[in-house]
Amino acid sequence: MTAAGTATSSELLSVVASRELAGRRTVFAGIGLPTLAASLAHLTVAPQLEIVYESGVCGAHPSHLPETIADAVLITGAEAVLSMATLFGSVLQGGHIDVGFLGAAQIDRHGNLNSSVIGDWDRPKVRLPGSGGAMEVMANSGEVFVVMRRHDPRSFMADLDFCTSPGPDRALADGITPRGAGVTRVITDLGILAREGVGEELRLVAVHPGVTVDRVRAATGWDLQVADEVTTVEPPTAAELRLLREDVDPGRVYLR
Amino acid sequence: MTMKDAIASYVHDGDTVSLEGFTHLIPTAAGHEIIRQGRRNLTVVRMTADIVVDQLLAGGCVTKLVSSFVGNSSAGSLGELRRRIEAADPEPLEFEEYSHYGMICRYIAGAQRLPFHPLRSYAGSDLPSVNPGIRKVTSPYPGPDGAPEEIYVVPPVNPDVTIVHAQRADRSGNTQVWGLTGVQAEAVYAAKKAVVVVEEIVEDEVVRSDPNRTVIPSHAVHAVVACPRGAHPSFAQGYYDRDNAFYRSWSHISKDPARLRDWMAEWVYGTRDHAEYVAKQGEGFWAGLAVGEAMSLPVNYGRRL
């Protein structure tokens, strides 16, 4: 059996996301899959990568896998700890972040995200956590990667219930010149969607082994654009899986 | 000052109360005392509305919440908050939603007594449509391309009182924080009154030996309360670790209203003060949250010879 055959969905998403960080200098990472992806990238394709956390930590060197973006183990041994005004104002809004990682409950064809409510904002069916710093990450990072554990029509929506974190197209329509490219990569359990920036829709560019283009189309709540040539994602290598399991998350806190 | 006296003196029914501490140094013990004293109709301002806010809601203290994130950290959901917002159960909650930097800019504007603060967020978001406080203005200066530039602004917030937790302060309130310093200083300066709760009150010489570590000077502080372990279940860098197990369990406790009532009866109403809450947990429990030493190297401030 190949290594890929033994990879879990979390491992697959982490490995694929880590490869996308090749050559990047600064990444704004949330906890969970983005932490795994950034940590693995640090050990493989992006040794120079500086991982910045919303809590104010820059250049973390944790002794243990952090359980939150503000875990005490991120502080001890870190290169810098900044106030939130400096982190959000000067680092993020100042334009120092190459890649931001975001998750969301809903995403649309332009990579706009909803993390506020399912249903009406005034009387929601489900109250979600809200923006946190997601809106600022979207507005100010050079580009944004989204990792979605489940690719289905309930999450990949033609019309969002609410737009918490708008991409550059919506900013332009609001009369404000966008700074970053917005969402450029969406990594899911079915494959990879990509877009270049303003005016573009997400396009299916790669599928995981055994996944068909039709299956991804059926799992997407809009008429999904598909690249002329859809590649098959290279399965996680034995080396990538070993690093992830033995060095990055040996306690299997996020690896499921 | 005791916590009891500080809350009695500085938190009144109908007040706007800011509690800050970003995952680190959350003023939980102060929140519990507000619940014990039965404050009503509070507007709570807190960037990350988490467990202490869920408890204040369950205590019937809050009619309005101003926040940029409502959730049980990365450990799940806030049951009471969701019942209030999703089903108006047991009563509706007025909710004013911002983004994190929106909240930070509100504190900065409040601290500096500015009429508003601009930020490069909100363009294209639906948030301005549900929050009239977020407004778009034309900059009085031309943009980079020479054309007029539009930008969103947020209003200042000036809480009646801000309460923060910190590692240590001297008797007059010079407050030192290390690790995550969050938005505490801005929130204190934005407030009309500020209460600082600390792990320990130290001699003046301790603070003066390292003035750069003082995040909040005494001129901004109205009351200092010594309350060891007062940030539990959050953590105090170098004093005790985060109680991750409690964070995970809160999602289950708060999901069931009966279980939540029982928890409040036992741990908040059933303890006279935070010292009793700490004693009730037992020393074995606290040993589980103990941290080892990682001392910073001293710096030489120098002295004139």
Write out pLDDT tens, residues B182-219: 999 999 999 999 999 999 999 999 999 999 999 999 99
Residue B82 at interface with chain A, using a CB cutoff of 8 Å? yes
Residues of chain B with pLDDT > 90, as a percent, come to 98
Which residues in chain A touch residue B104, judged by CB atoms under 8 angstroms apart? 84-85, 88-89
Kindly determine whether residue B99 and residue A167, on different chains, have CB atoms separated by under 8 Å: no
CA distances from B201 to A251, B170, B196, B206 (A): 38, 5, 11, 10
Of B100, B130, B186, the CB nearest to A121: B130
User: Is the CB of residue B120 less than 8 Å away from at least one CB of chain A?
Assistant: yes
pLDDT at A68: 81
- For residue A77, the model assigns a pLDDT of 92
CB contact at 8 A, B180 and A81: yes
Per-residue pLDDT of A122-173, as tens digits, reads 999 999 999 999 999 999 999 999 999 899 999 999 999 999 999 999 999 9
Strand partners, B70: B49
Q: Give the closest of B73, B143, B180 to A75, CB-based.
A: B180
Residues contacting B284, CB < 8 A, separation 6+:
none
Q: Under an 8 A CB cutoff, do B69 and A71 touch?
A: no
What are chain B's domains?
3-98+160-289 (3.40.1080.10), 116-154 (no CATH)
pLDDT band at A2 (very low <50, low <70, confident <90, very high): very low
Q: Residue A135's closest CA among A158, A167, A157, A107?
A: A167
A56 with B180: Cβ contact below 8 A? yes
Contact B124 A169 (CB under 8 A): yes
User: How does pLDDT run across B145-164, given as a tens digit for each residue?
Assistant: 899 999 999 999 999 999 99
Closest by Cβ to A70, choosing from B22, B100, B143: B22
Tell me which residue of B239, B198, B235 sits closest to B218, measured CA to CA: B198
The CATH code belonging to domain A9-247 is 3.40.1080.10
Q: Is B97 on the interface with A (CB under 8 A)?
A: yes
- Give yes or no for residue A4 having a pLDDT over 60: no
CB of A212 less than 8 A from some CB of B: no
A207/A82 Cα distance (integer angstroms): 40
Q: What is the pLDDT of residue A63?
A: 82
Q: Measure CA of the first residue to CA of the last residue in chain B; give whole Å.
A: 40
In chain B, what is the greatest distance between 2 CA atoms, to the nearest angstrom?
A: 69
Give the rounded percent of residues in chain A with a pLDDT score beyond 70.
98
Residue A5: its pLDDT value, please? 58
Q: What is the pLDDT of residues B16-62, one digit of tens each?
A: 999 999 999 999 999 999 999 999 999 999 999 999 999 999 999 99
> Is A256 a residue whose pLDDT tops 80?
no
The shortest C-alpha distance from B238 to chain A (Å) reads: 9
Best B73, B114, B126, B165 member to test A by mutation, with max A CBs in 10 Å, is B126
Q: Which residue of B has its CA nearest to A165?
A: B125
Question: A173 to chain B nearest CA, in Å?
Answer: 7
Of A59-68, A112-121, B33-42, where does mean pLDDT reach its minimum?
Answer: A59-68
Q: What pLDDT score was predicted for residue A1?
A: 39
Q: A167: which strand partners? A: none
Say whether the ipTM exceeds 0.90.
yes
CB contact, 8 Å: A182 with chain B? no
pLDDT at A6: 80
Query: A175: alpha, beta or left, given left = phi > 0 and alpha = psi -120 to 50?
Result: left
Q: In this complex, is the C-beta atom of B74 within 8 Å of any C-beta atom belonging to chain A?
A: yes
* A54 among known catalytic residues: yes
Say if residue B13's pLDDT is above 80. Answer: yes
- With CA atoms as reference, the chain A residue closest to B145 would be A177
Phi and psi angles of residue B253, each rounded to the nearest 5 degrees, phi first: -60, -50
CA atoms within 13 A on the CB side of A30: 19
pLDDT in tens, B251-300: 999 999 999 999 999 999 999 999 999 999 999 999 999 999 999 999 99
- From the list A92, A67, A64, the residue with the least C-alpha distance to A77 is A64
Binary contact (A88, B104; C-beta < 8 A):
yes
Task: Inspect the interface and report whether the beta carbons of A83 and B183 lie closer than 8 Å.
Answer: yes
Catalytic pick from A11, A20, A50, A54?
A54
pTM: 0.96
Nearest CA in chain B to A160: B126
Q: With 60 as the cut, is the pLDDT of residue A32 above it?
A: yes
The residue among B85, B121, B188, B244 with the most chain A CBs within 10 A of its CB, best to mutate, is B121
